[in-house]
């Protein structure tokens, strides 16, 4: 889609028909009776609605033609499932259906693949969250959601984090008077002279340590052992481990 044109999926948006509410109601009734011609007119008469919905997703880096087609699928589902008996405008019913179809497409085509079981937990957690908000009029905690689902807290956290969209390096984090700061601008530069000079100094300090000091650092910070575990493995007291560790870290900081 080119933004300086009014064409999407080879459809000239300026020529899209606009239906009045009375026309929509009549076409919906005929569609429910199996009139395919009325169904086609209803689809064509609501393409502007799809177009307005996909504008919400313009900053996702997605192909707008693809999103328009996915939105049309959501529109068709809304037409096929809408019940004219309910006193609600068709557009009120259709918009969430269109948005849901697009979001489902974005999730399923995410570059980071997430297992179906984790996605299912995430969707259930979101449903429970909405239910608890409606009941208590406040945002529920992760523990409350986990208790409602009857699963461990860590499973809920992992599931919810799995459906969060990855951040692009070119996402804007701040903008002022046209001067924009991107995520990329906040990352460290490994080519900085101070970085490799500090690395050399760090290696020199490590080389100057004796074997016991090196082993304590390795066990503590590479293997994640506690001071008590290190003391048992080396054969010295926990107080000695603490003193040696503190001395080594002070030496590294000073260098």
Q: What is the CATH number of the domain that holds 207?
A: 1.10.10.10
C-alpha span between 214 and 245 (Å, rounded) = 10
Q: 215 and 174 in one domain?
A: no
CB proximity list for 202: less than 8 A, separation 6 or greater: 252, 255
What confidence score (pLDDT) does residue 217 get?
Answer: 82
Q: 246 and 158 in one domain?
A: no
What confidence score (pLDDT) does residue 14 get?
Answer: 66
What confidence score (pLDDT) does residue 3 get?
Answer: 37
Determine, yes or no, domain membership for 100: yes
Range from 14-23, 151-160, 164-173 carrying the lowest mean pLDDT: 164-173
Q: 84 and 36 in one domain?
A: yes
Q: 117 and 104 in one domain?
A: no
C-alpha span between 152 and 145 (Å, rounded) = 10
Mean pLDDT of 26-32: 88
Determine, yes or no, domain membership for 2: no
Most confident of 7-11, 16-20, 154-158: 154-158
Whole-model pTM over 0.85 = no
Q: 235 and 205 in one domain?
A: yes
C-alpha span between 31 and 41 (Å, rounded) = 10
Q: 12 and 97 in one domain?
A: yes
Indicate which CATH number applies to the domain containing 55.
Answer: 1.20.120.1810
Determine, yes or no, domain membership for 122: yes
Q: Which of 255, 219, 199, 223 shows the shortest CA–CA distance to 245?
A: 219
Determine, yes or no, domain membership for 76: yes
Q: How confident is the model at residue 157 (pLDDT cuts 50, 70, 90)?
A: confident
Range from 54-68, 109-123, 177-191 carrying the lowest mean pLDDT: 177-191
Q: Which of 92, 94, 162 shows the shortest CA–CA distance to 124?
A: 162
Q: 93 and 12 in one domain?
A: yes
Mean pLDDT of 97-110: 79
Q: 94 and 17 in one domain?
A: yes
Total structural domains within the chain:
3
Q: 144 and 103 in one domain?
A: no
pLDDT digits (tens, 9 = 90+) for 71-87: 899 999 988 888 877 77
Query: Looking at the predicted structure, is the pLDDT value of residue 232 above 70?
Result: yes
Domain that holds residue 146: 112-187
Determine, yes or no, domain membership for 134: yes
Query: Looking at the predicted structure, is the pLDDT value of residue 147 above 90?
Result: yes
What confidence score (pLDDT) does residue 103 get?
Answer: 83
Residue where a domain terminates, one of 187, 207, 237: 187
Residue where a domain terminates, one of 78, 108, 138: 108
Determine, yes or no, domain membership for 203: yes
C-alpha span between 217 and 215 (Å, rounded) = 5
Q: 150 and 104 in one domain?
A: no
Determine, yes or no, domain membership for 1: no
Residue where a domain terminates, one of 108, 140, 174: 108
- Where do we find the tokens 């040696």? 244
What does the chain look like in DSSP terms, one character per residue? Answer: --TTSSEETTEEGGG-----HHHHHHHHHHHHTT-HHHHHHHHHTTHHHHHHHHGGGGGG---HHHHHHHHHHHHHHHHHH--TTSSS-HHHHHHHHHHHHHHHHHHHT-SS---HHHHHHHHHHHHHHHHHHHHHSSPPPHHHHHHHHTS-HHHHHHHHHHTSPPPPTT-EEEEETTEEEEGGGGS--TT-HHHHHHHHHHHHHHHTS-HHHHHHHIIIIIS---HHHHHHHHTS-HHHHHHHHHHHHHHHHH-
Most confident of 143-147, 204-208, 214-218, 246-250: 143-147
C-alpha span between 114 and 160 (Å, rounded) = 11
What confidence score (pLDDT) does residue 23 get?
Answer: 87
Q: 101 and 45 in one domain?
A: yes
How many CB atoms lie under 10 A from the CB of residue 125? 23
């Amino acid at each position: 889609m080119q933004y300086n044109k009014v064409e999407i999926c080879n459809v000239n948006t300026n020529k899209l028909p606009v239906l009045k509410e009375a026309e929509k109601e009549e076409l919906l009734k005929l569609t429910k009776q199996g009139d395919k011609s009325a169904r086609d007119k209803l689809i064509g008469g609501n393409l502007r609605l799809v177009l307005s919905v996909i504008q919400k997703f313009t900053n996702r880096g997605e192909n707008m033609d693809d999103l328009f087609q996915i939105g049309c699928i959501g529109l068709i589902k809304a037409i096929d499932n809408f019940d004219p008996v309910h006193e609600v405008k068709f557009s009120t019913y259709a918009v969430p259906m269109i948005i849901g179809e697009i979001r489902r497409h974005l999730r399923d085509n995410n570059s980071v693949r997430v297992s179906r079981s984790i996605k299912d937990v995430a969707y259930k957690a979101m449903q429970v969250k909405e239910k608890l908000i409606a009941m208590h009029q406040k945002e529920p905690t992760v523990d409350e959601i986990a208790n409602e689902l009857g699963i461990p807290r860590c499973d809920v956290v992992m599931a919810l984090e799995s459906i969060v969209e990855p951040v692009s390096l070119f996402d804007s984090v701040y903008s002022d008077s046209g001067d924009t700061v991107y995520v990329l601008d906040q990352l460290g530069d490994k080519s900085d002279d101070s970085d490799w000079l500090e690395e050399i100094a760090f290696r020199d300090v490590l080389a100057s340590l004796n074997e016991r000091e090196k082993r304590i650092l390795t066990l503590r910070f590479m293997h994640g052992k506690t001071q008590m575990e290190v003391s048992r493995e080396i054969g010295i007291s926990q107080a000695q481990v603490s003193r040696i560790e503190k001395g080594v870290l002070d030496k590294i900081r000073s260098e």
